Every structure is written in structure tokens, then in C-alpha cells.
Structure 1
């Protein structure tokens, strides 16, 4: 009887521990952001060249990055797009300006060093539609090798170099098609 009871307890523990295994959180393969007439699908962010966070959680940093860039492009695009027009981007790669360097304990977090060795880059496909009909579409590989030589106003804006890539692209590529 004592042997049976011990076997039953061990079997119960093994059964419960098997059911209560910690599951890894599922990471979304893509992230969709929207601002008015602009939709951006950030496809497979884990494969991007460099969107490394220097502080906080990587997932929160990515959400902040994607939201900020969508808002910046949306602010401009929504002024120029008609109500029946839609701009959809599918971003396949982002390489933020600069490079994350470890501080080896000198600071609590790593830091991003911005130099002309690491220019901002964004690769995406886009489709501009009006009433469901395609007006313009294509693929882009944006980068700005001289990004540090451009005049930059002193602001607290997040991701100014990447924002400028998207804004310049919109003005040169999308606005003439409107």
C-alpha cells in the first residue's frame, strides 16, 4: 500500500509538471501599423539588419519604432492623399542609423553610436491605390550615405534619419503620382 501511494504521488507530480511546462511566448512574425490612409506591415522584424534596443524590452522598442515611423509618414501622406486613396507598405528590412556598442559596465545600458559608417537603410514594397485600383507600386531600397551632412534641426524627435528617408521618398515618388 505504501509503495502504491508513493507511485501514485510521483505519477501525479510528473503529470502535473508535464501539463504546467512554461511555454515560450509566441512572437508575432509581422506587425501592422496604421495612420489614416497609410498602412505599414513590418514583416519579420526579427530578420531586420539592425533595430536593436539600447534600453528596455526589445518588443517595446520595436513597437515604438514602428509606430513613430508610421505616424511620421502618415502626418505627411494624409495631407496629400484623397479620402479614397490608400498607401500600403510592406517593410522587409530596417537598419537604423548608427551601431549599438556595449559599454562593458560603464553604463547601465548599451549605447547607439551614430557615425557615417552606419547609414540608415529601409527596404520595402509599396502600393498606392485609389478606389481599389493601383495607381503606383514598386520596391524601394532607401539609404542615405550622407545623412550626417544634412542639416538637422535640434529636436527630440525619435529616429530622425529614418523618418527623413521615408519623407523624402514620399515627396519624390508618391507626390508626383497624385
Structure 2
């Protein structure tokens, strides 16, 4: 019986340590850019300044995870496939507001649940610079992305992805920005 209690205590201690070590987008040691690439580079400032955290109904829950880096990697992956040879795309993520919101007034059972409603569309603000093989600027400037009809589109291939609405927003922007 004592061995069982010791094993259970050890398991609980390890679980709480693992939970405490979970990544947080505002962690000072978290990266603020993807590793350099020849074709697509993505950077971002401190996510604590993003609308997602500043205007969240649950700042703690909104900062959990590594969603900024995941979205940055998604931008790189998708842009790399569309970018013509020799061109370079530099993206600075200035702001993110994820789809959905936290509605604390539903009580303690739902305070950590992201509620997806059409009044909470995904939004991003990016600073973009597209150059050709010679370093000449093809396009640059700020891009404000938003999808007010995000609940009407087909997301069947991304149904379980918590970033599915933001990824679809990125795909739509890249198809317009990098017309091939």
C-alpha cells in the first residue's frame, strides 16, 4: 500500500512539473522569429501586445501554447510552396486576434473555453516585403487580414486544428499576395 502511495505521489509531482513547464507565447525565452531562410522569413514582436492577449476575456488561457510560432511556421510552409524561384518574402507579424473569444459570464465551467461565434472573426496585421532574385522590391507594406465570414467556409480538412480559421485566413492572403 505504501509503495502504491509513493508511486502515485511521484506521478502527480511529475504531472504538475510537466504542466508548469508548458509553453506560453509570452515566455521571455520563447523565440521571436523562425530560423533564417533564403526564401521566407517570419518574425514577430512580443505577443503580449497582440490584440489576442490585450483584449482577451481570459489573458492566461489566451497566452497558453505556442500558437504564434505555429502560425509563423504555417506562413513559411505555405508561402514557400507558392513563391517563385529566386523571390524572397519577409513577414513581420504585427498583431493577431484569433477566432473566437472567452466569455467569462458563462461561469467557472466555461471560463477557459474559447467560444466560436461570428462576432469574433480571426484578424492579423502583417508587414510584408516581397523581393525578386536581384533584391528589387516587388511589393511591400502593411496587410490587414480579416475573415468576417469565417464560419461559412469549408474547414473539413482542418476540423480538429485549433488554428484552422487563422490558417485559412493565411491561405487566402497568400493566394492573393503570391499569384502564380
Pairing 1:1-178 to 2, within 5 Å after superposition: 27=28, 31-34=32-35, 36=37, 37-51=39-53, 58=63, 61=65, 64-102=66-104, 104-106=107-109, 110-131=112-133, 132-153=135-156, 155-176=159-180
Gaps of 5+ in 2: 1-26
Distance across 1 between alignment mates of 2:162 and 2:36: 17
Question: Are residues 129 and 34 of structure 1, via their aligned partners in 2, closer, same or farther at CA, if it must alter by over 3 Å?
Answer: farther
**Equivalent pairs, count:** 148
- Select the structure that is richer in strand: 1
Distance across 1 between alignment mates of 2:124 and 2:77: 19
Contact kept? 1:29, 1:44, Cα under 8 Å: no
Aligned CA-pair RMSD: 3.1
Range with bigger deviation, 39-48 or 73-82 = 73-82
TM-score, normalisation: structure 2: 0.68
Specify the structure having the higher radius of gyration (Cα).
1
Gaps of 5+ in 1: 1-25
Runs of 4+ in structure 1 displaced over 4 angstroms? 51-57
Distance across 2 between alignment mates of 1:157 and 1:110: 17
Distance across 1 between alignment mates of 2:171 and 2:36: 14
Secondary structure of 1:110 counterpart: coil
